[in-house]
A and B are shown apart, each in its own frame.
Chain A
Amino acid sequence: MFAIFQWLQGTEIATALRESAYMYPIVMALHLTGMAIFGGLILMTDLRLLGIVLRGATISEVVGQFRIWKRVGLALVAGCGILLAWAKAEQYYGNPYFWLKMTFLLLVGVHALVFRRSVYRNTAKLDNLKVMPSQVKWAAGFSLCLWIGLVSAGRLIGYYEPKP
Chain B
Amino acid sequence: MLAYDPSTNPLNNNDWAFPLLEIIHILGFAFSIGTIAIVDLRLLGLALPRQSPAQLLRDTAPWTLIGLAVMLMSGPLIFSSDPNMYLYNSAFRFKMGALLTAIVYNYTIHRKIAMADSSSGMGKLVGGVSLLLWISIVFAGLFIAFV
Contacts and interface: CB of A to CB of B under 8 A. Distances in A.
B63 A29 contact: no
A111 B35 CA distance: 23
A28 interface: yes
Interface residues of B, number: 35
Nearest to A44: B38
Given A54-B51, A57-B51, A65-B47, A40 B19 contact: no
A56 B142 contact: no
Nearest to B145: A25
A161 to B, nearest CB: 10
Interface residues of A, number: 36
B83 to A, nearest CB: 21
Given A36-B29, A41-B38, A155-B22, A69 B46 contact: yes
A149 to B, nearest CB: 10
Contacts of B33: 36-37, 40
Contact residues of A: prevailing secondary structure? helix
A99 interface: no
Contacts of A47: 63
B48 A57 contact: yes
B47 A151 contact: no
Interface string A55-79: 1110001100110010000000000
Contact of A54 (B19, B59, B143): B59
B138 A38 contact: no
A36 to B, nearest CB: 4
Nearest to A26: B139
Contacts of B146: 21, 24-25
A151 B30 contact: yes
Contact of B26 (A37, A57, A155, A159): A155
A61 B48 contact: yes
A39 B26 CA distance: 10
Name the residue among A37, A55, A62 with the largest chain B CB count within 10 angstroms: A37
A35 interface: yes
Q: Closest 3 CB pairs between A and B?
A: A40-B34, A39-B30, A36-B33
Interface of A: 21, 24-26, 28-29, 32-33, 35-44, 47, 53-57, 61-62, 65-66, 69, 148, 151-152, 155-156, 158-159
